[in-house]
Amino acid sequence: MIANYFIIDDILLKQLEKLDANSLYKKIDYMLDNDDLYPCCDIDTIWNGLYFLISSKEEPVYDKSVFEDYAKSAFIFGDINFSTEEYIAYIKKDEIEKILNEIEKININNLSFEPKAFDEAKIFPNNWLKEDKELLKEELFMAFDELKEFFNMAKEENKNILITIM
């Protein structure tokens, strides 16, 4: 399962909200094939590991009463889910800055990466003990920086973010 993030305008978001699941999948496939038209950030299979690293949680938190936990979840998984079998969600543009404010507080270099904890928690993609620890750590940190930069781009353009994990 690969995580992709797209910057989309309000018009496209409204169009996507009206589509049935099959049409939505087709549109997302089109977007993936045309990333020159739809800015995309692909963090591949590292999404679940990145979430575990920044939150120490196995499952997303969608309760906004603890905004720090919610922001970490929304950063990886989005805010509003489409009703589909595949994971497709989005974050409206007015939430992005609030989420980024929390994410900016995270000093990724101070986080501890212990592959055994990832393996014990059964964090996808279940290769934490089979791969080189330093290489995985570097990949996690790079994905964090890329995604944070991508969110900043969406904020600057005053656009929404579409998230697919398929």
List phi, psi (to 5°) of 161.
-125, 130
> Is the CA virtual torsion 13, 18, 20, 22 positive or negative?
negative
Q: Tell me what pLDDT residue 54 has.
A: 97
pLDDT in tens, 89-125: 999 999 999 999 999 999 999 998 999 999 999 999 9
State residue 131's pLDDT score.
Answer: 77
- Ranking 74-78, 96-100, 131-135, 161-165 by mean pLDDT, the lowest is 131-135
Q: How far is residue 65's CA from residue 95's CA, in Å, rounded to a whole number?
A: 14
Residue 14 confidence class, pLDDT cut points 50, 70, 90: very high
Burial class (CB in 10 A: 0-12, 13-18, 19+), 17: exposed
pLDDT surpasses 90 at 83 = no
pLDDT tens by residue, 16-74: 999 999 999 999 999 999 988 999 999 999 999 999 999 999 999 988 888 999 999 99
Domains of the chain: 3-165 (3.40.1760.10)
Burial class (CB in 10 A: 0-12, 13-18, 19+), 4: buried
Among 4, 14, 41, 13, CA closest to 152: 41
Half-sphere exposure of 119 (CA within 13 A, CB side): 10
- Is 19 within 8 Å of 86 (Cβ atoms)? no
Q: Does the structure show a pLDDT above 90 at 130?
A: no
Q: Inform me whether the pLDDT recorded for 139 exceeds 80.
A: yes
Whether 103 contacts 72, CB under 8 Å? yes
